[in-house]
């Protein structure tokens, strides 16, 4: 239980760093558990653990944000094994879609039968972060109300993820 | 003494004021229950709660139109207009409290209580129609509602409450007419019309006289509790009580059914696919400096700004309703976000909108919803 | 606002046959799209009994069924315009995702429509209850008066046997039925006129923020074209979706919008909420679809609605050439191809299955029309897309699919040399051209290697700034563009599939090329970066005067049973009555001799009102005289394949 809670917490932090949405926004989609399950089911527990522990290590070792970003690029996004998985996670959060991993990855690290391109659920489509990013509703859901489209979008970054904020949110 | 509840125009003002508060008081519980249901699950329950919710919004508008027709305005900014939950309802049903809570079997029972049909029988009950005797007025935390004529009676059902208003209007207008006057002295420009008010919940009635006032009240009563225990009204619409009862029984009513025995299509209500919202959450429940607390405060501020907009709409600025509806959609998204976030202290329980208003700051009132930003 | 009364009764095959045997049907209508629904409503409201055959199942007449469509859409990795609607081999429908580049001389049979070329047409229609109005965009324009006489005025295409003035009162009826939101004062241009004091049922929808930005940039731009100056104004479109009712409508009686169709109370379908998903499905049913009209018809109790009944043959009486009966295949499940072959008769027959299916059914029945024109003159609007990035966030991806556009190239002398066009400003950005916004995320993450803050900022710049102009170019009648059938190509029930021959004339291409030039001017004026590119690998690719283009179909199939003045020059008369078969009507856009630069639905709906008036007139004159047919038989057959 404790381990699971910790894993979910780390997953949310990793997702936050990759997508630039804070934990409130990520939890606010209601998709955290479904996405973690999807990821684990397709790439396996071991790779998920490796991804999360690499993230933690980079996070802890980074004195500032520039160092952190470089660390993520070199040790996760630029890693042959972890890179495609992390990019899939970004796309998953932004669109609700799991994209089939690249063939080179599948040859090297295992072909799951579930590794096809699909929406995790009908809810995951409507919870894609891309829509929040541009202050729009997902096409076909959450209609913002008559005439709302006449006003400029209220794009803001208030719920952005923060690297080691001075007052750490609990 | 008279067996009318309303005997003076002041009584009527107070009752209509309470009516607006009453209708509004059901919205936080309905809204929270609705958005606690996980997306794309429980389509039947979602559709039923949503349908009732939008009709409550219509009822607010109708009650406010009646009040405006008398030359008074509802006050959505009044101190304690938004009750502190759990709360009794302003019409004084004394044996149940209404909470902000997740959708559950218990919540559904409360909803059934809220919408329960009148059981008033002329021969048996007190001289006040639909009233029950009580002696606990002090427990009512709705400070904005002053005790009416009698501090020892309250209504058994919302329908009874509106019946009393209807009776009062008939009586007072009759009195006024005898003197060649009318109680309907409000400026028609304050009547909110269908041009600006809309929902799927029916058409708003503009009130200028007794007939239109009674029509407006009739619509509230019909949609709410129905009449004489019929399930469907003349328009073929189910009253709120029977709509909720469908969820309890897992079966739709269809034309020709008798009360408590629906025979339409069956469906499953899934109480598990619901976010575990903390019952009657308060901002104080969330740790200081947590994102959740910030979001809860932001929601309350936005909600208060929303009520201010509504207030302006009923005081001559009805075109603001169009934007207010869009504001409502945004509030919905913010509420959903709170509802889906676990408490930092207990990941098994989620937050929720607290609907705690601040009445200590004047600047707040000046805030327009146009300045909102998403939390 | 919603329909809680259960009026969604259907009949069984046996009941339909029994009533047919008793000669109870005044009309048999094939197809429950907007044309069939209007005819059904008009006839039944005057007391006539109608049998309505629908090829698809009817579960979408319930709220639960409708919600399933919405969920299907959410889940479907392809968001094409038939994405919400389930595959049904017994009544298949074309999908744009089936279209690919053609090999000259080789029939492409991947999709339901066999593509014979030379160009591949990716237009679609929807074979579900309610027809293609389930996925239509509901931009709902009247045709210009000059569109009705392009042959005599400009020497191209075909003339109509009627004029704008003849159709004007029916436009009004159609706008009422559909519930159009528009402001007359913004719509009366280039000859479009209205009755005195006319107002649309509802006020016009507000323009999007994107429209306002584009308007600031391009309003007043001038183009010299064959001696005429065309000055650009961004205008809002009339919309077939609920807005604010106009209290002045109907001499002050106002208008009551029609909400969601449901057998249980759902309280939806009020004003458009801006779901940005008119195509392929409005999740709240604020958009008109034909089920709303169908339900009105059903309320009369005089519609016998038989779903899962695919018309397969129109059978003619050799004595007087009247229709004797219609054969159809009734299947029990979309999972299986077993069907019951049955036939029904009525005093009048109305084919309302759309321009492709009407012609397909007639040709499959061996009825090419004495004019030989059945299936010929296939027209569609040809779309050219031009897309760019604005220098500021324009709030793209919000509002209805399209709120405004430009009408200033729809008219004028140039029409004798090149095709005219209307312009749509797409609120859904580059979606149509590139698959945005999903493809944008793929590009940003997989190719531009962005993540975190950098990514989030790029998502805004890349998506919220998008601008796409869709140029809707007129196509004029050309007999070589056509629908045919061939026993070699059949569907699961053994019905012959439509084969499409399609090409673009130089007249069309000249209009497309000119439209592209205007886009370059617009992008310049807006300071937008032009991202348009037209790959030779694209299935819609063509080269014109050295420049590359591709086109997209507009889903506005028409002309396949064209109306005219004589049995020699047309398939139907001005009332959409078959010249050859006196008790047969072929209704819908297939009757239109030209389509101008207006989406076809409003005009075809107006034609259906005109036709229903004519049929009612006929019926009231005749004593009801139904041929009784006692030799019904049920033949059980196994399905093919």
One DSSP character per residue, B123-151 reads: TTS-SSTTEEE-S-GGG---TTSPP-S-S
User: Which positions in chain C touch B48 (Cβ < 8 Å)?
Assistant: 265
On the question of pLDDT at A2 being above 90, the answer is: no
Closest CA to B353 of B108, B100, B110, B141: B100
**HSE-CB of C485 using CA atoms within 13 angstroms:** 23
**HSE-CB of C259 using CA atoms within 13 angstroms:** 21
Q: Do C64 and B199 touch (CB under 8 A)?
A: no
Start-to-end C-alpha separation, chain C: 46
Q: Would you report the helix, strand and coil content of chain B in percent, each value rounded to 5?
A: 45, 5, 50
- Asked whether the beta carbons of C159 and C152 are under 8 A apart, the reply is yes
Mean pLDDT, rounded, for B317-337: 90
Total Cβ atoms within 10 A of residue A46: 10
Mean pLDDT, rounded, for B306-332: 91
Closest CA to C65 of C80, C79, C85: C85
Which pLDDT belongs to residue C269? 72
Find the helix packing angle between B105-114 and B240-249, rounded to 10°.
160
| B143 CA: distance to closest CA in chain A (Å) | 34
pLDDT band at C522 (very low <50, low <70, confident <90, very high): very high
Which pLDDT belongs to residue B296? 97
pLDDT tens digits, C523-558? 999 999 999 999 999 999 999 999 999 999 999 999
Residue C216 vs residues A1, C222, C427, C468, C526: alpha-carbon distances, Å:
59, 14, 16, 16, 8
- For C615, the enclosing helix (H) or strand (E) is helix C601-621
Which pLDDT belongs to residue B224? 82
Report how far residue C224's alpha carbon sits from residue C353's, in angstroms, rounded to the nearest whole number. 42
How many Cβ pairs within 8 Å bridge chains A and B? 78
User: Which positions in chain A touch C403 (Cβ < 8 Å)?
Assistant: 149
Percent pLDDT > 70 in chain C is 95
pLDDT tens digits, B2-19? 577 788 898 899 889 889
- Token representation of residue C567: 């049995």
What does DSSP say about strands C114-118 and C499-502: parallel, antiparallel, or unpaired?
parallel
Q: pTM for this one?
A: 0.93
On the question of pLDDT at C624 being above 60, the answer is: no
Which pLDDT belongs to residue B245? 94
Which pLDDT belongs to residue A83? 98
Which pLDDT belongs to residue B375? 32
* A 52-81 residues with CB < 8 A to C: 69, 72, 77
Distinct helix (H) and strand (E) counts, chain B: 10, 4
Total Cβ atoms within 10 A of residue C493: 24
Q: Does A10 touch chain B (CB under 8 A)?
A: no
On the question of pLDDT at B42 being above 50, the answer is: yes
Which pLDDT belongs to residue C266? 62
Percent pLDDT > 90 in chain B is 53
Handedness of CA B4, B5, B7, B9 (dihedral sign): negative
Q: Do C453 and A139 touch (CB under 8 A)?
A: no
- Asked whether the beta carbons of B359 and B81 are under 8 A apart, the reply is no
pLDDT tens digits, C171-188? 999 999 999 999 999 999
Q: Do C455 and A141 touch (CB under 8 A)?
A: no
User: Which positions in chain B touch A144 (Cβ < 8 Å)?
Assistant: 326, 329-330
pLDDT band at C640 (very low <50, low <70, confident <90, very high): very low
Burial class (CB in 10 A: 0-12, 13-18, 19+), C623: exposed
Residue from B34, B276, B326, B352 whose CB has the most chain A CBs within 10 Å, to mutate:
B326
On the question of pLDDT at C633 being above 60, the answer is: no
Residue from B200, B219, B254 whose CB has the most chain C CBs within 10 Å, to mutate:
B200
Q: In sequence order, what are the residues at sequence separation of 6 or more whose Cβ sits closer than 8 angstroms to the Cβ of residue C229?
A: C222, C223
User: Which positions in chain A touch C440 (Cβ < 8 Å)?
Assistant: 130
Closest CA to B338 of B365, B375, B289: B375
Q: Do A24 and B329 touch (CB under 8 A)?
A: no
Q: Do C400 and A149 touch (CB under 8 A)?
A: yes
DSSP C242: -
Residue B37: closest CA among chain A residues belongs to which residue?
A: A30
Q: Do C445 and A91 touch (CB under 8 A)?
A: yes
pLDDT band at C336 (very low <50, low <70, confident <90, very high): very high
Beta-bridge mates of residue C135: none
If interface means Cβ-Cβ distance under 8 Å, which residues of chain B face chain A? Answer: 38-40, 198, 275, 287, 289-292, 294-295, 322-323, 325-330, 333, 336-338, 340-342, 344, 347, 372-375
Which pLDDT belongs to residue C524? 98
pLDDT band at C627 (very low <50, low <70, confident <90, very high): very low
Find the helix packing angle between A45-61 and A2-19, rounded to 10°.
70
Residue from A123, A132, A145, A167 whose CB has the most chain B CBs within 10 Å, to mutate:
A145
Mean pLDDT, rounded, for A126-133: 97
Q: Do C70 and A161 touch (CB under 8 A)?
A: no
How many Cβ pairs within 8 Å bridge chains A and C? 160
pLDDT tens digits, C17-57? 999 999 999 999 999 999 999 999 999 999 999 999 999 99
- Asked whether the beta carbons of B97 and B86 are under 8 A apart, the reply is yes
Q: Does A154 touch chain B (CB under 8 A)?
A: yes
Report how far residue C326's alpha carbon sits from residue A68's, in angstroms, rounded to the nearest whole number. 73
Alpha helices in C407-505 (DSSP H): 431-434, 438-442, 452-459
Report how far residue C361's alpha carbon sits from residue C374's, in angstroms, rounded to the nearest whole number. 10
Total Cβ atoms within 10 A of residue B362: 7
Residue B42: closest CA among chain C residues belongs to which residue?
A: C64
Which pLDDT belongs to residue B150? 46
Report how far residue C141's alpha carbon sits from residue C406's, in angstroms, rounded to the nearest whole number. 12
| Least CB–CB distance from A158: residue in B275, B344, B374 | B374
Chains that touch A (3 or more CB pairs under 8 A): B, C
Find the helix packing angle between C34-44 and C164-178, rounded to 10°.
90
Residue B324: closest CA among chain A residues belongs to which residue?
A: A145
User: Which positions in chain A touch C441 (Cβ < 8 Å)?
Assistant: 91, 94-95, 130
pLDDT tens digits, C212-240? 999 999 999 999 999 999 999 999 999 99
Token pair 């239980």 in the structure block, residue: A1
Handedness of CA B283, B287, B292, B298 (dihedral sign): positive
On the question of pLDDT at B368 being above 80, the answer is: no
| C85 CA: distance to closest CA in chain A (Å) | 15
Q: Does A25 touch chain B (CB under 8 A)?
A: yes
Q: Do A160 and C206 touch (CB under 8 A)?
A: no
Q: Does C70 touch chain B (CB under 8 A)?
A: no
Which pLDDT belongs to residue C641? 31
User: Which positions in chain C touch B240 (Cβ < 8 Å)?
Assistant: none
Percent pLDDT > 70 in chain B is 83
Which pLDDT belongs to residue C626? 37
Report how far residue B174's alpha carbon sits from residue B12's, in angstroms, rounded to the nearest whole number. 14
pLDDT band at B237 (very low <50, low <70, confident <90, very high): confident
| Least CB–CB distance from B375: residue in A127, A145, A159 | A159
Residue C259: closest CA among chain B residues belongs to which residue?
A: B200
| B79 CA: distance to closest CA in chain C (Å) | 32
- Asked whether the beta carbons of B337 and B280 are under 8 A apart, the reply is no
Burial class (CB in 10 A: 0-12, 13-18, 19+), C566: exposed
Report how far residue A90's alpha carbon sits from residue A18's, in angstroms, rounded to the nearest whole number. 6
Torsion of CA C555, C556, C561, C565, to 10 degrees: -170
- Asked whether the beta carbons of A146 and C274 are under 8 A apart, the reply is yes
Alpha helices in C126-267 (DSSP H): 150-154, 164-178, 184-187, 209-218, 249-252
């Amino acid at each position: 239980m404790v381990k699971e809670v910790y894993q979910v917490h780390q997953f949310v932090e990793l997702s936050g760093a990759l997508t630039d949405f804070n934990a409130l926004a990520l939890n606010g989609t209601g998709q955290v558990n479904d996405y973690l399950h999807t990821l684990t089911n397709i790439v396996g527990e071991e790779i998920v653990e490796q991804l999360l522990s690499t993230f933690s290590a980079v996070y802890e070792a980074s004195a500032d944000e520039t160092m952190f970003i470089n660390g993520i690029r070199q040790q996760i996004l630029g890693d042959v094994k972890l890179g495609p998985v992390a990019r899939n996670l970004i796309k998953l959060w932004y669109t609700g879609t799991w994209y089939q991993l690249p063939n080179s990855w599948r040859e090297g690290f295992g072909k799951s039968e579930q590794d096809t391109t699909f929406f995790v659920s009908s809810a995951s489509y409507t919870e894609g972060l891309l829509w929040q990013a541009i202050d729009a509703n997902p096409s076909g859901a959450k209609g913002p109300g008559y005439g709302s489209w006449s006003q400029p979008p209220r794009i803001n970054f208030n719920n952005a993820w923060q690297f080691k904020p001075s007052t750490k949110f609990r | 003494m008279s067996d009318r509840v309303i005997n003076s125009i002041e009584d009527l003002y107070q009752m209509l004021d309470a009516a607006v508060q009453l209708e509004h008081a059901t919205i936080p519980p309905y809204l929270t229950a609705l958005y606690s249901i996980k997306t794309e699950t429980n389509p039947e329950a979602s559709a039923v709660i949503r349908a009732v919710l939008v009709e409550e919004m219509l009822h607010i508008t109708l009650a406010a139109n009646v009040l405006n027709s008398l030359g008074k305005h509802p006050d959505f900014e009044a101190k304690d207009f938004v009750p502190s939950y759990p709360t009794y309802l302003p019409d004084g049903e004394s044996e149940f409290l209404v909470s902000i809570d997740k959708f559950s079997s218990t919540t559904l029972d409360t909803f059934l209580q809220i919408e329960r049909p009148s059981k008033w029988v002329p021969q048996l009950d007190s001289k006040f129609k639909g009233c029950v005797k009580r002696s606990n007025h002090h427990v009512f935390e709705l400070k904005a509602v002053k005790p009416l004529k009698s501090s020892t009676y309250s209504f058994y059902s919302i329908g009874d409450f509106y019946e009393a208003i209807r009776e009062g209007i008939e009586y007072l207008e009759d009195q006024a007419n005898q003197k060649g006057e009318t109680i309907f002295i409000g400026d028609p420009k304050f009547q909110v019309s269908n041009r600006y008010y809309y929902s799927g919940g029916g058409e708003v009635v503009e009130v200028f006289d007794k007939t239109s006032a009674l029509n407006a009240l009739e619509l509230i009563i019909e949609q709410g509790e129905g009449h004489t225990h019929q399930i469907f009204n003349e328009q073929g619409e189910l009253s709120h009580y029977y709509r909720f009862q469908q969820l309890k029984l897992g079966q739709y009513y269809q034309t020709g059914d008798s009360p408590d025995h629906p025979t339409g299509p069956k469906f499953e209500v899934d109480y598990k696919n619901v976010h575990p919202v903390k019952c009657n959450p308060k901002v104080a429940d969330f740790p200081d400096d947590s994102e959740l607390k910030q979001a809860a405060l932001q929601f309350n501020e936005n909600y208060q700004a929303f009520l201010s907009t509504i207030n302006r709409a009923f005081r001559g600025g009805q075109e603001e309703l169009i934007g207010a509806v869009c504001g409502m959609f945004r509030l919905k998204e913010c509420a959903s976000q709170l509802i889906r976030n676990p408490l930092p202290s207990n990941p098994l329980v989620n937050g929720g909108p607290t609907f705690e208003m601040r009445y200590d700051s004047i600047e707040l009132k000046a805030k327009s919803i146009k300045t909102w930003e998403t939390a | 606002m919603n329909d809680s009364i259960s009026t969604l009764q259907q009949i069984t095959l046996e009941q339909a046959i029994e009533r047919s045997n008793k000669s109870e049907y005044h009309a048999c209508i094939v197809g429950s799209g907007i044309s069939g629904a209007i005819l059904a409503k008009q006839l039944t409201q005057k007391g006539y009994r109608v049998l309505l055959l629908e090829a698809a199942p009817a579960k979408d007449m319930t709220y639960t069924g409708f919600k399933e469509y919405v969920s299907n859409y959410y889940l479907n990795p392809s968001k094409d315009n038939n994405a919400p609607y389930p595959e049904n081999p017994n009544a298949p429908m074309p999908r744009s995702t089936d279209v690919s580049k053609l090999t000259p001389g080789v029939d492409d049979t991947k999709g339901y429509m066999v593509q014979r070329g030379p160009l591949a047409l990716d237009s679609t229609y929807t074979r579900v209850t309610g027809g293609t109005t389930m996925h239509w965009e509901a931009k709902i324009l009247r045709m210009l008066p000059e569109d009705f006489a392009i042959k005599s005025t400009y020497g191209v295409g075909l003339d109509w046997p009627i004029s704008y003035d003849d159709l004007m009162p029916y436009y009004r009826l159609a706008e009422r039925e559909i519930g159009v939101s528009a402001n007359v004062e913004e719509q009366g241009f280039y000859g479009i006129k209205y009755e005195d004091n006319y107002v649309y049922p509802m006020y016009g929808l507000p323009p999007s923020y994107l429209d306002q930005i584009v308007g600031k940039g391009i309003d007043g731009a001038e183009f010299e074209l064959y001696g005429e100056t065309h000055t650009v104004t961004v205008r809002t479109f009339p919309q077939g979706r609920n807005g604010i009712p106009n209290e002045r409508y109907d001499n002050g009686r106002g208008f009551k919008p029609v909400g969601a169709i449901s057998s249980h109370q759902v309280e939806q379908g009020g004003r458009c909420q801006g779901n940005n998903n008119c195509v392929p499905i409005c999740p709240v049913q604020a958009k008109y679809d034909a089920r709303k009209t169908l339900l009105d018809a059903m309320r009369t109790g005089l519609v016998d609605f038989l779903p899962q009944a695919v018309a397969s043959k129109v059978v003619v009486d050799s004595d007087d050439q009247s229709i004797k009966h219609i054969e159809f295949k009734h299947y029990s499940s979309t999972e299986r191809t077993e069907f019951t072959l049955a036939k029904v008769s009525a005093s009048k027959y109305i084919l309302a299955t759309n321009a492709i299916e009407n012609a397909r059914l007639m040709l499959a029945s061996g009825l090419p029309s004495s004019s030989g024109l059945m299936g010929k003159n296939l027209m569609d609007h040809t779309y050219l897309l031009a897309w760019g990035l604005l220098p500021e966030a324009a709030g793209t991806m919000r509002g209805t699919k399209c709120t405004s556009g430009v009408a200033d190239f729809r008219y004028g002398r140039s029409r004798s040399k090149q095709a005219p066009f209307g312009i749509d400003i797409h609120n859904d950005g580059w979606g149509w051209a590139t698959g945005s916004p999903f493809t944008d995320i793929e590009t940003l993450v997989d190719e531009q290697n962005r993540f975190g803050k950098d990514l989030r900022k790029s998502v805004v710049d890349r998506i919220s700034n998008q601008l796409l102009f869709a140029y809707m170019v007129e196509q004029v009648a050309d007999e070589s563009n056509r629908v045919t059938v061939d026993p070699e190509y059949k569907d699961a029930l053994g019905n012959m599939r439509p084969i499409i021959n399609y090409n673009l004339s130089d007249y069309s291409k000249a209009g497309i090329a000119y439209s592209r030039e205007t886009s370059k001017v617009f992008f310049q004026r807006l300071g937008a970066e032009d991202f348009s590119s037209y790959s030779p690998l694209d299935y819609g690719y063509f080269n014109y005067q050295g420049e590359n283009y591709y086109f997209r179909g507009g889903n506005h199939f028409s002309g396949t049973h064209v109306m005219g003045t004589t049995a020699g020059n047309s398939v139907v008369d001005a009332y959409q009555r078959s010249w050859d078969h006196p008790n047969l009507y072929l209704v819908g856009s297939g009757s239109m001799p030209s389509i101008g630069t207006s989406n076809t639905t409003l005009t075809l709906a107006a034609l259906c009102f005109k036709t229903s008036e004519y049929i009612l007139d006929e019926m009231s004159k005749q004593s009801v005289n139904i041929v009784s047919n006692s030799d019904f038989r049920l033949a059980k057959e196994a399905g093919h394949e």
